[in-house]
Amino acid sequence: MHIIGPHTSIAGGLQKAAEQAAALSANGFGMFTKNQRQWRAKAITAEEASRFKETLSALGFTAHQILVHDSYLINLANADDEKWERALAAFVDEIERVETLGLQLLNFHPGSHLGVLDTQTACRRVATALDRAIEASEYAKLVIENTSGSGSTLGSTFEELAMIMEASRHSERIGCCIDTCHAHTAGYDLSTIEGFETAMDRFAALVGMDKLWGMHLNDAKSHAGSRLDRHASLGAGTIGWETFDHIAGDERFASIPLVLETVDESLWEAEVARLRWGKDHERTL
């Protein structure tokens, strides 16, 4: 059965993310481990970690069903050495928090070269940061998320994702998360099953399907190739339900977390129901 759920809130305690997911009949979820717009947070206490793990166990969740997202502030492609070191330290802290909670997957954006570096150099800089972070941690897997390609951000093409992974000395601990909205607005038209499969063929050729460790299922408010990162509820954007139904029925994606970051929380339960049990069982959208 596919692993499906929304990115839920940790307000009130880390365990609240799992409780909210379970209340929505999800069997997976995404989460932060701290405020995503702060560089650092107080360390997770043994009591907090224990409560989180106990909640997961009681609700039937396991580590591979949870995709943690790091802080939006971290830019591992920064050309400024001092700022890069600060970003790296924050990233290592994110990994430590994941491992403290007994989780496995940390999703992150590759960052931006800010117009200072060429793409290849910036990708190598990200890879160097990942290598240092991996060497400073125990086991967590680092999951690069593709981007919409706005401004000077890296990762809008599968070529750039592959470039980062190929430059790393520890690629066995690095995989990818495909965000459908980002891919679509970056120029991979996912509005048809044929278009989606063309994109997957490209990903498979450049990166490898064995390196797809998660997906963000988001519709897009803007058209394919617009480079605008504007999420929409499933079926309410320019991708459409046909593609999302296809993903939810495809065994290639059955063992990785498929996380919703859609904009209307009141629709999450219905979106989860349709993805998990098919459109014949959907709630009213």
Within a domain: residue 186?
yes
Among 2, 7, 69, 274, the active-site one is 69
Among the options 97, 231, 274, 276, which is catalytic?
231
Q: Is residue 142 a part of any domain in this protein? A: yes
pLDDT (mean) for 235-247: 98
The catalytically annotated residue of 145, 189, 219, 282 is 145
How far, in Å, are 31, 232, 278 from residue 236 at the CA level? Answer: 24, 6, 17
The fraction of the chain above a pLDDT of 90, given in percent, is 95
Q: What is the CA radius of gyration of the chain?
A: 18
Q: Flag whether pLDDT at 46 surpasses 70.
A: yes
List b or e across 148-184, with b for residues whose CB sees 16 or more CB atoms inside 10 angstroms. bbeeebbbbbbebbbbbbebbeebebbbbbbbbbbbb
Q: pLDDT tier at 285 (50, 70, 90 boundaries)? A: very low
pLDDT confidence band for 279 (50 / 70 / 90): confident
Q: Is residue 45 one of the residues assigned to a domain?
A: no
223 lies in some domain: yes
What confidence tier does 37 reach under pLDDT thresholds 50, 70, 90?
confident
52 found inside a domain: no
- Mean pLDDT (the chain) is 96
Question: Number of structural domains, the chain?
Answer: 1
Whether residue 72 lies in the annotated active site: yes
pLDDT digits (tens, 9 = 90+) for 88-147: 999 999 999 999 999 999 999 999 999 999 999 999 999 999 999 999 999 999 999 999
Asked about 69 being catalytic, the answer comes back as yes
The catalytically annotated residue of 99, 261, 264, 269 is 261
User: In CATH, what number is assigned to the domain containing residue 90?
Assistant: 3.20.20.150
Domain that holds residue 205: 3-36+57-281
Note the pLDDT of residue 266.
Answer: 98
Torsions phi, psi for 232 (to 5 deg):
-130, 160
Q: How confident is the model at residue 284 (pLDDT cuts 50, 70, 90)?
A: very low
Instruction: Respond yes or no: is residue 145 known to be catalytic.
Output: yes
Active-site residue, 182 included: yes
User: Is the residue at 51 inside a domain?
Assistant: no
The two structure tokens encoding residue 230: 């504007």
Q: Given 2, 109, 113, 184, which residue is catalytic?
A: 109
Q: For residue 96, what are its two tokens?
A: 């430590």
- pTM to 2 decimals? 0.96
**Which strands sit side by side in the sheet containing 257-260, from one edge to the other?**
3-6, 257-260, 212-217, 174-179, 141-145, 105-108, 66-69, 29-31
User: Does residue 174 form part of some domain?
Assistant: yes
pLDDT score at 283: 46
**pLDDT tens-digit map of 255-269:** 999 999 999 999 999
CA 192 to CA 186: how far, in whole Å? 16
Establish if 154 belongs to a structural domain: yes
Active site residue 261: yes
One of 2, 113, 182, 184 is an active-site residue; which one? 182
